[in-house]
């Protein structure tokens, strides 16, 4: 059985920006608040962190800052995916060199690839580093999905340990569990499916919700692990309106807006992401208020 990088709720953390770059002071404050509210891992430079609009230097600087600032208090997982295998390897090796605990590697996007291409891509990256790898399957963004048989092939690699599954297909997740057993851990990639995926043997979530409700997201998982399944499910259900509000426009527009509303200096979104529609801002504010977050 492979060792898990973390169990519970990992935050897909936002990146606070200034007009000129990353606001590292505010990123440090956000990380400290996450740890104080029992977030189980920091996932830096992912989709929610707007890594797609970072320069190479910013991407690497954000990873190094997160590792240094967390200072081994909880695991740090570095988003190191790319649609170019060579660049993904470069990012993976950099993350390893600065002390990251694991890697999150999204499926290649735009140019896409076949299932054989996915195996070759991931195995090449895994062979280039000693860090454990979490696959990231999010076909709504990338246009390609990892099939069950492909998971079974990839799970044989000793450093491919888990998947962040955001395909929304619980039947496919069930079949992946059957095919891979304990050789491939599963994290929910959707905040509205934490409990369903835990019930199929998942070990946690990589969460957008955790940015604004870190304690509650942690508690959904921990209550489940503690056998308090009804309480965990109730908490998941109670927060479904906030989860919906955080995804009423493309992520990370709502969550970045929410963080600014909550008083964090999250800064601007980077183009091509645009400011949230006024009606959706009001909906978001009302939902945050309903949960006593503002």
Catalytic residue set: 136, 164
Distance between CA atoms of residues 268 and 62, nearest Å: 17
Q: In this structure, are residues 210 and 39 in contact, taking their beta carbons and an 8 Å threshold?
A: yes
- The helix/strand/coil state of 245 is helix
Which is nearest to 122 in space by CA: 163, 64, 77?
A: 163
Distance between CA atoms of residues 184 and 176, nearest Å: 9
Q: Number of helices (H) and strands (E) in the chain: give both, helices first.
A: 13, 8
Q: What stretch of H or E contains 8?
A: strand 8-12
Q: Which residues of 100-111 are buried (b: 16+ CB within 10 A; e: fewer)?
A: bbbbbbbbbbee
For the chain, how far is it from start to end, CA to CA, in angstroms?
Answer: 43
Phi/psi at 237 (nearest 5 deg)? Answer: -65, -40
């Amino acid at each position: 059985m492979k060792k898990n990088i973390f169990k519970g709720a990992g935050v897909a953390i936002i990146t606070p920006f200034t007009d000129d770059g990353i606001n590292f002071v505010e990123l440090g404050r956000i990380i400290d608040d996450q740890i104080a509210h029992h977030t189980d891992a920091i996932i830096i430079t992912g989709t929610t962190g707007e890594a797609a609009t970072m320069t190479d230097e910013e991407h690497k600087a954000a990873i190094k800052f997160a590792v240094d600032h967390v200072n081994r208090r909880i695991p740090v997982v570095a988003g190191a995916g790319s649609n170019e295998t060579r660049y993904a390897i470069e990012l993976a090796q950099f993350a390893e060199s600065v002390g990251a605990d694991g890697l999150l590697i999204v499926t290649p996007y735009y140019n896409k690839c076949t299932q054989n291409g996915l195996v070759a891509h991931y195995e090449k990256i895994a062979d280039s580093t000693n860090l454990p790898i979490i696959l990231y399957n999010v076909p709504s963004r990338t246009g390609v999905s990892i099939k069950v048989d492909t998971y079974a092939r990839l799970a044989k690699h000793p450093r491919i340990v888990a998947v962040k599954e955001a395909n929304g297909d619980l039947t496919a997740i069930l079949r992946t569990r059957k095919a891979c057993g304990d050789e491939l851990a599963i994290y929910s990639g959707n905040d509205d499916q934490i409990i369903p995926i835990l019930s199929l043997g998942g070990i946690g979530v990589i969460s957008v919700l955790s940015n604004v409700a870190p304690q509650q997201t942690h508690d959904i998982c921990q209550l489940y692990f503690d056998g308090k399944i009804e309480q965990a499910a109730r908490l998941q259900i109670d927060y479904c309106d906030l989860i919906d509000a955080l995804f009423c426009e493309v992520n990370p527009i709502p969550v970045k807006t929410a963080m600014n509303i909550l008083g964090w200096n999250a800064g601007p979104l980077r183009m091509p992401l645009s400011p949230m529609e006024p009606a959706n801002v009001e909906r978001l504010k009302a939902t945050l208020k309903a949960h006593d977050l503002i």
